Amino acid sequence: MKFIHFVLLFLIGTVSFSCGPQNSSTTTPQSGSQISTAFAKGEKVTNDNFIGTVWLNYLAETDTVHNVNIGSVTFESGARTNWHYHKGGQILLVTEGKGLYQEKGKPIKLINKGEVIKCPPNIEHWHGASPTEAMTHIAIGTNTNIGGAVWLKPVTDEEYSTS
């Protein structure tokens, strides 16, 4: 397994988030005025645990002191995670746009900027942008001393289109 695969395998929930000061990012909304968001989009994700265009900015590295990791993740419209679960759970804070969240066997839920989602440990789920609008969330992996993300199958277009 190449190093980059190893790193990205654990993208949400397991991983080596790099800690410390982050630069602010500035985006230009449709109105033409400038909105300065708190955290940069980060690096484009290139692994197979996601469909579509996804960006990741590691905010806080996993350590054995705090037992969490934190990343800001931006999904362009149509992009989403694969199905997965977290051994220690995860909390999502939606900071921009509109997205989707679904736990296995439950309906897809529309999630909006300002919403908070708790993903309990070992519950299979996926999350991503809406079909027409990007979504950014801060993802907080919890109880990382127990374990991180376990990645499963992609969310098919059929599964996604039911949204």
Give the interface with its own copies as residue ranges (CB under 8 A): 19-25, 31, 33-36, 38-40, 59-60, 63, 65-68, 70, 88-89, 91, 93-96, 112-116, 118, 120-121, 138, 140, 142-143
Q: With H, G, I as helix, E, B as strand and everything else as coil, classify residue 9.
A: helix
- Nearest approach, Cβ of residue 139 and its own copies (Å): 12
Residue with Cβ nearer its own copies (5 or 106): 106
- Given the complex with its own copies, which of 51 and 56 has the nearer CB atom? 56
Q: What beta strand segments (E) does 76-134 contain?
A: 80-81, 84-86, 90-103, 109-112, 116-119, 125-129
| Smallest separation (angstroms) from its own copies to the CB of 141 | 10
Least distance between its own copies and beta carbon 157 (Å) = 28
Distance, CA of 77 to CA of 135 (rounded, Å): 7
If the CB atoms of residues 81 and 142 are measured against its own copies, the closer one turns out to be 142
The answer to whether 60 and 68 have CB atoms below 8 angstroms apart is yes
d(CA 84, CA 58): 19
Distance CA 139, CA 17 (A): 11
Q: How far is the CB of 134 from its own copies (least distance, A)?
A: 14
